[in-house]
Structure 1
Amino acid sequence: MEWGDVRYFLALARAGSLSAASRRLGVEHTTVARRVDALEAALGMRLFDRLPRGWVLTPEGEGLVADAARLEEEALAFARRAAGASGVAGEVRVSAPPVLASHFLAPRLGPFLAAHPGIVLTLAGEKRAALLGQREADLALRLSRPAEHGVVARRVATLTFALYAAPAYLDGRRPEEWCFLGDDESLGELPQQRWLLAVAGARPLVLRTNDLATLVHAARAGIGVAALPCFIGDADPGLRHVAADRDGAASREIWIAIHEDLRRSPRLRLAMDAIGEIFTRDRWLLEGMAGR
């Protein structure tokens, strides 16, 4: 039996379909099917019924899910402990919200990478929280305190929001005539969205989007008033500061997190300290004190 096939079995058991399992594993759906077929052949039993609505576990397959999960956790723990004992050179995978990855962190990584040429940094801008226990990332920046088991974190800054609009939109237009631009409902009840709606009151929300860049461009084009991170809005000459979040209702804490098994890795410790220092050094931008 190929032990790696167990990982495909477990992913398919959790996802319920080849397409969902293949997306999670980052492979073609035919690869998932082939590896599960190989595992069934090696075990001499059928683990899934192939039905039109998806792959459904057989009773035999259901009985092996818990064992497969234990195998996965042991393998991941082995990998984390090995990574924790590694040297300085190598890859560091960092997951971060897109706004922090592209607009804040990436432009400030040059000195760190120049000082440590043996480190290759993979910076992934992700709206979802990467699972550190599953080795989806080595380090993660989060906009709330992580609650994942085995993860340790420290707060490095606060991300503040304010209202911004194009000067041409504001000139000659009374506040009661303003329209607003907000986050798409698919992002859920974000603090900045709740604050925006509270400020807007009965005034219309004319555009929703799940992309911050779209929100910035729409505000700059004079479509309406948007709640934006201060470090973006304050630096944009095409936007004017309209109102501050005086009570901190829209603020988001920024945390940097690592799995406890990886804390002893010199490479990851070095990267974590450097990224933390970047946020600490320029937190005044994140917290909306630029130009105030």
Structure 2
Amino acid sequence: MKKFEADSLEKVYDLAKKEFECSITELVIEVIQQPTNGFLGFGKKKAIICAYKKENSTLKAAESKSYKNKDVKIEDVSSKIENSKLEEKTIVKEEKKEILKDVPKVESKEQIFDNFYGEEKGEISKIFIRKDKDIVLKEVKEGLNLLFNESCFNLEDIKVSFYDDETLFIEFLGEDSALLIGKEGYRYKALSYILFNWINDKYGLMLRLEVAEFLKNQEQAISLYLEPVIELIKEKGSFKTKPLDGILVHIALKRLREEFPLKYVAVKTNIKGEKYVLVNEYKAREN
């Protein structure tokens, strides 16, 4: 019996077939480990099987032939193989349904984004019984340590504190902390969505996430962009920012609301699905 590893079951089966130079039906296979995708690039598992070729498969195939009136009748196993594959797929689907049945429903990415950036939907807010701040900090820190202690990233102690009464501040520092940002901030955005969905749903709090000073640098960049924008708004009374990505939308929204408390300032989405901030006279909100 030999052991084989690959990224998926299909690939690992191909390795076994090539090694023994036979079809999959001539092998005895034991699945040691199912493949998993992991989380944010870590925790990924490969498919692992052990396999060996059936003994005397050629002889047994010859014995399975039956002869009558000198006509050779060979049992057609192709249909059985196809039926076996269909049964296997059905079993896998049923297992997935059983697993997913117990998984709690998570809001869609767009719903989480809208909640995170304060777009108003006119819905009744969920009522929270606020826990003591020290208890919240302790529980969040324990949850983060549980998530990242076994990761491949070399991180310092994760800092958790209250930014204000309604916002939790989480900071990741360390040698590998910049890897949590990802190309064009895609890992940062994914991490912020996940952490916000957890913290907001459980504690009713907002989130301010800092990873290797990424948030600080983004705030500086958007501040430079907004300086001439603010002057234009003061002159013309309204303005629509360029499409902004991820955390930049939130930073721009907060800054413009602070600068123009008597105007209507909100996050909008264009036909391409891009987010921008609209500043207008307050009466425009009723239209």
Q: Work out whether the TM-score is over 0.5.
A: no
* Higher CA-based Rg: 2
TM-score (norm 2): 0.25
TM-score (norm 1): 0.25
Q: Which has the higher contact order (CA 8 A, sep 6+)?
A: 1
